Amino acid sequence: MKRVKFACLSQTIHFELNEKLPHQEAVRQARESLLRYKRELDQKQVPYVVDGESALEDGTPVLEIRKQYNQYKVGSYLD
C-alpha cells in the first residue's frame, strides 16, 4: 500500500493577453490577473512560494510558483 505523505505543485503560469483589447490595456489586465491570483491564494490560505516573476517581450507576466497540492502537507517543499 502507498500513501502520499507530502505533496507540492510546481507551476509556470503565463497570464495571456486578451486579443480583443488594445495592447497596453491587455497588458494591464494580465498584470491585474496575476495580482488577483496571488490574492486568491492568500484568501484561501494556500501555502505557496513564488520562485520567479518575469515578463515576456510583449509585457505579459509569467509566474513561477510552488504551492500546496490539495490539502496534503507540504513538508519542506516550500522552505
Question: Which set of grid coordinates corresponds to residue 3?
Answer: 500513501
d(CA 70, CA 68): 6
Per residue in 40-75, pLDDT (tens digit) is: 999 999 999 999 999 999 999 999 999 999 989 999
Among residues 32, 27, 33, 38, which one has the least CA distance to residue 60? 27
Q: How confident is the model at residue 12 (pLDDT cuts 50, 70, 90)?
A: very high
Mean pLDDT, all residues of the chain = 96
Would you state the pLDDT for residue 69?
A: 92
Per residue in 17-47, pLDDT (tens digit) is: 999 999 999 999 999 999 999 999 999 999 9
Q: What are the sequence ranges of the domains in the chain?
A: 8-68
